[in-house]
A and B are shown apart, each in its own frame.
Chain A
Amino acid sequence: MTRADLQTPVRDEAQMIAAILAGNTELYHELVRPYELAVYRMALSYMKNESDAEDVAQEAFLKAFRKLSAFRGQSKFSTWLISITLNEARRRLRHDKTLRFESLDEPPEEGAHVSPAILRDWREIPSEALGRSEVRELLQAAINHLSPIYRQVLLLRDVEDLSIEETATVLEISLSSVKVRLHRARMMLQKELAPKLKSLNPKRRWFQWS
């Protein structure tokens, strides 16, 4: 009926969901398989340790299954799933709040300006560089150091590839808050990472990677 017919194979999630609701529950495994990393990554960004993040992720997949009939296709299934994941993580953190340093209350928006690291040139770092654990660790540390309100917006928009609107919906904040936080988060990341990545990138070295 649409151009989807022209592309094979096609994942028709609406059809999969209808089949699951009609009793073919086995299909749920296949429905969620592509989203395991996204759900885990978002859970990890809230929980900060792997085992709590895995618990939250499992719980989110289970809740999504139980609530599947409430999914009306107003959003993408993946966005709905991420929304359930964030709620589950928040619920868990509220529950454990006394044990945690990081307040769930939003910190005041930090100073209006985040200036980037000033560079005179930039030599492209290819994705192959992520084969090096020191590069992965630098990125993880920089993301983890962002305060939660910045980290969440950045991950949803730039890692999970949600739109500005979807990000605003799942975080229950305004579009302009998303834009402001996203801008600051990106600048903070550039400020933190550009000098470090640059110094890891000795002359010509990356050349061999590309």
Chain B
Amino acid sequence: MVLECKHVWDYISGYLDDALPDEVRESVQQHLEHCEICSAILDSTRNILVLTADDRVFELPVGFSGRLHARLAREMESGSGGKLGHPD
């Protein structure tokens, strides 16, 4: 199966997830070996996703953790939050 570039683009996400059927994956692989454009698109996508997943992109607001645990402690103690086993 010989693929054109624009068809390879349709498989990039599946390729990154290793979710393509064997035959398709091999065709994509073969295309990537000689196509620098598709390789650059794949590499940039993978790179961008790694950056996106980094914990520094969205950070907790200052004091978030302290406020959260103080509230949890307060509600657990008062009993209003502590009705375990009695959802709503």
For chain A residues 40-71, which have a beta carbon within 8 Å of chain B?
40-41, 44, 50, 54, 57-58, 61-62, 65-70
- Other than the known A62-B71, A183-B14, what 13 A-B pairs have Cβ atoms closer than 8 Å? A33-B65, A36-B68, A61-B72, A65-B76, A66-B86, A69-B85, A116-B44, A119-B41, A122-B41, A127-B51, A136-B56, A161-B53, A164-B19
B6/A115 in contact, CB under 8 A: yes
List residues of chain B with CB within 8 A of the CB of A36: 60, 64-65, 68
- Choose one: A57, A120, A121, A186; the contact of B45 (CB below 8 Å): A186
The reply to whether the CB of B12 lies closer than 8 angstroms to some CB of chain A is yes
List residues of chain B with CB within 8 A of the CB of A124: 43, 47
B58/A189 in contact, CB under 8 A: no
List residues of chain B with CB within 8 A of the CB of A154: 52
Interface residues of B (CB under 8 A from A): 6, 9-10, 12-14, 16-17, 19, 36-37, 39-41, 43-45, 47-61, 64-65, 67-69, 71-73, 75-76, 81-88
- List, sorted by A's number, 29 A–B pairs whose CB atoms are closer than 8 Å: A20-B84, A25-B76, A25-B84, A29-B72, A33-B65, A40-B60, A54-B61, A58-B71, A65-B76, A65-B82, A66-B82, A66-B83, A67-B87, A69-B87, A116-B41, A117-B41, A119-B37, A119-B44, A129-B51, A130-B54, A130-B57, A136-B57, A139-B52, A164-B17, A183-B13, A186-B45, A187-B13, A190-B48, A197-B44
Q: Which residue of the partner chain B has the closest CB to A118?
A: B37
B81/A66 in contact, CB under 8 A: yes
B67/A54 in contact, CB under 8 A: yes
Q: Which residue of the partner chain B has the closest CB to A40?
A: B60
The reply to whether the CB of A159 lies closer than 8 angstroms to some CB of chain B is yes
B52/A159 in contact, CB under 8 A: yes
A37/B52 in contact, CB under 8 A: no
The reply to whether the CB of A179 lies closer than 8 angstroms to some CB of chain B is yes
Interface residues of A (CB under 8 A from B): 20-21, 25, 28-29, 33, 36-37, 40-41, 44, 50, 54, 57-58, 61-62, 65-70, 115-122, 124-125, 127, 129-131, 135-136, 139-140, 143, 154, 158-159, 161, 164, 179, 182-183, 186-187, 189-190, 193-194, 197-198
B40 to chain A, nearest CB (A): 4
A74 to chain B, nearest CB (A): 16
